[in-house]
Amino acid sequence: MPSALILIADGTEEMEFTITYDTLVRAGVSCTSSFVPDSNDKTASVSPHVAKCSRGLRIMPDTYFDESESGPDKYDLLVIPGGAKGADTMSTSPAVQELVRKYITIGKKVGMICAGSLAAQTSRLPKQPLTSHPSVKQALERGFDYSESPVVISGGLITSRGPGTAFPFALTLVELLCGREKREEVRAPMIFPESTPF
């Protein structure tokens, strides 16, 4: 069974986290959510800490982030959601940066959505196709081949734009982990309108 580690922090965008988590679970992917603390917040030491997301929704993660328990030897996919504050916490974490490089280096998958794509820059990934929320486009377009496509696949790196592209992002991750047939199996009961382009 494929497995995914989905990071969460205070300020994570709710839709990007929950839609990705839910869609992967529907495909039979074993998902674990892991709370990444703000390095400046000395009160977030209880495990698991409740993450207060960008719109105030509180989510209880499965675990408290531990780099030694989060590697590509344990999971097939690492997901970094957006939300300005949450994405900043994750992308500036040296441990998360190291993890991103490890996953990419050994050929595992890394999904980044919205401002979460900043982690590609801070992790010093090489120049390649990428997308993000427009609010961080300027920070990324010099170091990457920037695209405004809803989802961009570049080897093991999969990026997307924001809450409105969370479903195609999540379904793309399903396809990459479980195959095209599983993607269609998961998509059908979600009852998207017939004109939905993904």
pLDDT band at 69 (very low <50, low <70, confident <90, very high): very high
Q: Where are the alpha helices (DSSP H) in 13-149?
A: 14-26, 84-91, 94-105, 118-122, 137-140
Is it the case that residue 41 has pLDDT exceeding 70? no
**Mean of pLDDT values over 64-80:** 96
In a domain, 112, yes or no: yes
Is it the case that residue 42 has pLDDT exceeding 70? no
**Mean of pLDDT values over 15-32:** 98
| Helix, coil or strand: residue 157 | strand
Is it the case that residue 12 has pLDDT exceeding 70? yes
Catalytic site includes residue 133: yes
In a domain, 198, yes or no: no
**33 CB contacts (<8 Å, ≥6 apart)?**
6, 7, 8, 17, 21, 59, 61, 62, 63
Question: What is the domain-level CATH number for residue 122?
Answer: 3.40.50.880
How many angstroms separate the Cα of 182 from the Cα of each of 5, 32, 81, 148? 20, 20, 23, 26
Q: Specify the pLDDT at position 67.
A: 94
In a domain, 197, yes or no: no
In a domain, 60, yes or no: yes
pLDDT in tens, 181-194: 999 999 999 999 99
In a domain, 160, yes or no: yes
Catalytic site includes residue 16: yes
Is it the case that residue 45 has pLDDT exceeding 70? no
From 14, 49, 53, 133, the catalytic residue: 133
The partner residues of 32 in beta bridges, in order of sequence, read 5
Split into its structural domains, the chain has a count of: 1
In a domain, 86, yes or no: yes
pLDDT in tens, 94-125: 999 999 999 999 999 999 999 999 999 999 99
Q: Specify the pLDDT at position 170.
A: 98
Select from 60, 48, 157 the least CA-distant residue to 109. Answer: 157
Maximum C-alpha span of the chain: 49
* Predicted model pTM: 0.95
From the number of C-beta atoms within 10 Å of its C-beta (0-12, 13-18, 19+), residue 100 rates as buried
Q: Specify the pLDDT at position 77.
A: 98
Question: Which residues form the domain of 176?
Answer: 3-188
Six token digits for residue 196: 């939905």
Cis amide leading into 48 (omega within 30): yes
From 16, 49, 175, 178, the catalytic residue: 16
pLDDT in tens, 126-171: 999 999 999 999 999 999 999 999 999 999 999 999 999 999 999 9
How many percent of the chain have pLDDT more than 70?
96
Is it the case that residue 47 has pLDDT exceeding 60? no
Q: Specify the pLDDT at position 129.
A: 98
From 13, 14, 49, 114, the catalytic residue: 114
Catalytic site includes residue 49: no
Query: Is there a contact between 89 and 37 (Cβ–Cβ < 8 Å)?
Result: yes
Is it the case that residue 44 has pLDDT exceeding 80? no
In a domain, 146, yes or no: yes
pLDDT band at 52 (very low <50, low <70, confident <90, very high): confident
Distance CA 100, CA 111 (A): 10
In a domain, 195, yes or no: no
